[in-house]
Amino acid sequence: MRDFLKRLPKAELHLHIEGTLEPELMMALADRNGVNLPYASEDEVRAAYDFEDLQSFLDLYFQGMSVLRTERDFHDLAMDYFQRAHAEGVVHVEMHVDPQAHLARGVSLQAVMEGLGQARRRAERELDMSSAMIMAFLRDKPADEAMQLLESAAPYWETLDAVGLDSAELGHPPSGFAEVFQRARDLGLSRVAHAGEEGPPAYIREALDMLDVCRVDHGVRCLEDPALVERLREQGTVLTVCPLSNLRLKVVDRLDDHPLPQMLEAGLTLTLNSDDPAYFGGGMLENFEACHRAFGWSRDTFRDLARNAIDAAFMSDARRGELVGRLEACT
């Protein structure tokens, strides 16, 4: 099964590029940029990856990204992940990026976008890996700041595929960003949002009704609202579920207890993703393998999940057709 899951052409729809920062690269960039970290070694960094909840993860996540300073840093960050993902059979990556977290540190939007853009072009050229860019707004920051970011990103609008909403969910409902998402819609950008990870099912409804999202990132708490489940099923709304992330952030105590099987039974359109693989125990292959161990899913189930991701991805019709053909040939 591992060989099959590795060969399976996988599209990752829910990935935070800053969350791909492995301890080795973190330490190397800290040395390159003269950044003092409270860790003496890669092992000490890994020892800190024992999170109580989403907020405890975010604290370390933002501390780690302090080593990202230059265009070259963002290029190296993305290429490091693209190469690892390629080795796991990932053929398409949709990266969330959090510019506000970098701007607040004095890093320019140009450094972020140009560095990531260079890596995207290189990955397509060298690895035959397509990609998409989702500019995410930090929901624990003011909506006015998000709007300012969106407008200041005008030179990069053509390189963006969507906008998103992430960071600490509790107490920060999607409704506060309705105007920002309307502006993104006017610009022709697709919309996605984190909802229903730690936040209640009502946040998922708000993301659908007030942000007009085409995908819900996480969404695992939808099962608490049967009417919402029916709506998601009828609309075919894609949920980008991150199993190992949910386990490491204590959304579930054991992967065996994850609601994924019930979500599948309910007829929901699901995809598997890694979220922040450097922090949560592995990339796409590890997430697929963990689900096989926990739920005993068949090859057909994994093919269906992989097809959902390809169908929902921000990519050209030609690329989609190519990847569907590769998926159908995978036995």
Residues carrying an active site annotation: 197
Q: In what order do the strands lie in the sheet with 90-97?
A: 10-16, 90-97, 130-138, 162-166, 190-195, 215-218, 238-241, 269-272
Rounded Cα distance between 127 and 82, Å, is 8
Handedness of CA 304, 305, 307, 311 (dihedral sign): positive
Rounded Cα distance between 328 and 331, Å, is 8
Phi-psi region of 80 (alpha: psi -120 to 50; beta: other; left: phi over 0): alpha
Per the CB < 8 A criterion, the answer to whether 176 and 204 are in contact is no
Residue type at 272 in one-letter notation: L
